[in-house]
Structure 1
């Protein structure tokens, strides 16, 4: 359960799901440290709030992360919830994605989140309480065509969070992985929260064009309501038995349900081989 007047540190607070969450928390009286690359944008978004602390963070900068966390502690004295929301999608066919693009994707979506969490954890351990929420994706459950690198970043995030939760629960710290589907944010607005492969190979020419059109065609048509994302996330965090993983997307539920069933059926079909690996007695 969340305590009243909790202090939240939210990355990616100036757009998309991070903005929706920040807006709802401020409306409910929570104290929010909104971590963004350009803090000057926050006044226009949220107005003046005594409970709002704009902090500058580039997740690729260890110094900015350390300074941001220190400023939150100086202002509020504690961090009760770390919401790792910042990230972006790198989409396209693997062979057409440069190594530089792949490394940048992993640095932001995985290593940046790891750096920030490492900086926050000592304060939570000291208090023997805390909540770490990391926003993954349905692509952290199943990859789709054109998402191999993005899915890799989210698979890494989920594996790390699952292991972290086992390690820090002894200190009263909870972990939650949130798996949103398509919400009506700027995620599919190219150049905003979505980047596309920069290389071009002849064998992918036709499917590349189709894939790109498919992704950008979703912009503004996603069925997910960001305000309902924030509302339901808080509801689940306040429940008596919050899950480790929270799938939050009406349209994604059938696809994920089908994926899990097929994966378990595959496991069952080959279990006789999986178990036939021990030394003969």
Structure 2
């Protein structure tokens, strides 16, 4: 019987596993990886949507069915990839969707479903590939977050909550796996022409009239941006590959002028607020010297 040391398929270049690969960033990353000479296992809930890519790159793109919220299937897909190729070099957690709604409008079910998709699914995939990457002494995990994973605004509370959670997990993960030669890259895009704002991908919570002035403009305006966003997914994919190939891969990579502007402004605002309240922050210890170690 075949095992990790005896792969059943030949792989050109690196072996990628990309979720949500049928469209948007996922598809662009698949195309960029193949162009770079690599092999991609492209995962989607409807793998038939990848038929064109598979036909264009026989043996280089392999489609698999995967709903990342199905943790049993997650484990099976990773095991299949390792059986086929003997390794996983790059995992891209990309599958996702949007949700518009104020906190009060968002149901518990909506929040839990989105957390399963954006947080628990990627966490399960990450845990599944790590033993193989540690054995290899190399690998990379790419987490598709959002500029909404660094700052938030009215109407995207649930979406940002899931991305904030993913970024928190990934920040710790990066420090945990660096000694094993494994990289972690958090990608924070702004508005790109990925179909994210289309009616099929963008869900909306049932509105409460009291929030019409606050959330209403986003409800009506965001779907209208579909196909007119400034970001180019192909350029985003190229930037991701460049960051992974860099000697010092960044932990976070903002993509798009809107993301760069928004994140920069949010960082400035956070620092200004911290400085304004720093004396209060530092005045809450007991008077005696603490025995706890101070951070470096």
TM-score of the superposed pair, with normalisation by structure 2: 0.90
**For 1:37-76, what aligned pairs fall within 5 Å after superposition?**
37-48=45-56, 49-76=58-85
Tell which deviates more after alignment, 22-31 or 113-122. Answer: 22-31
Distance 1:143 1:61, change over 3 A: same
Of 27, 32, 38, 1:30 maps to 38
CA distance in 2, matches of 1:28, 1:272: 52
What is the aligned residue count? Answer: 276
Deviations 1:197-246 (A, max 9, x none): 1x232312454443211111211110000000011111111111111111
CA distance in 2, matches of 1:211, 1:176: 29
CA distance in 1, matches of 2:97, 2:186: 16
Shift of 1:280: 1.5
Deviations 1:127-154 (A, max 9, x none): 1111111010000000011111100000
CA distance in 2, matches of 1:47, 1:245: 34
TM-score of the superposed pair, with normalisation by structure 1: 0.94
Of 10, 13, 23, 2:21 maps to 13
**For 1:112-151, what aligned pairs fall within 5 Å after superposition?**
112-151=121-160
| Counterpart secondary structure, 1:12 | coil
1:214 counterpart residue number = 221
Shift of 1:46: 4.5
Q: Which 4+ runs in 1 deviate beyond 6 A?
A: none
Are positions 1:224 and 2:228 aligned together? no
1:84 counterpart residue number = 93
| Counterpart secondary structure, 1:224 | coil
1:276 counterpart residue number = 283
Asked if 1 retains the 8 angstrom alpha-carbon contact of 2:19 and 2:44, the reply is yes
Which stretches in structure 1 are left out of the alignment for 5+ residues? none
Asked if 2 retains the 8 angstrom alpha-carbon contact of 1:53 and 1:72, the reply is no
Of 165, 168, 175, 2:177 maps to 168
CA distance in 2, matches of 1:59, 1:254: 32
Are positions 1:188 and 2:202 aligned together? no
Of 225, 229, 243, 2:250 maps to 243
Which stretches in structure 2 are left out of the alignment for 5+ residues? 1-11, 289-296
| Counterpart secondary structure, 1:97 | coil
Asked if 2 retains the 8 angstrom alpha-carbon contact of 1:14 and 1:45, the reply is no
CA distance in 2, matches of 1:251, 1:205: 25
1:109 counterpart residue number = 118
CA distance in 1, matches of 2:51, 2:240: 25
CA distance in 2, matches of 1:60, 1:259: 31
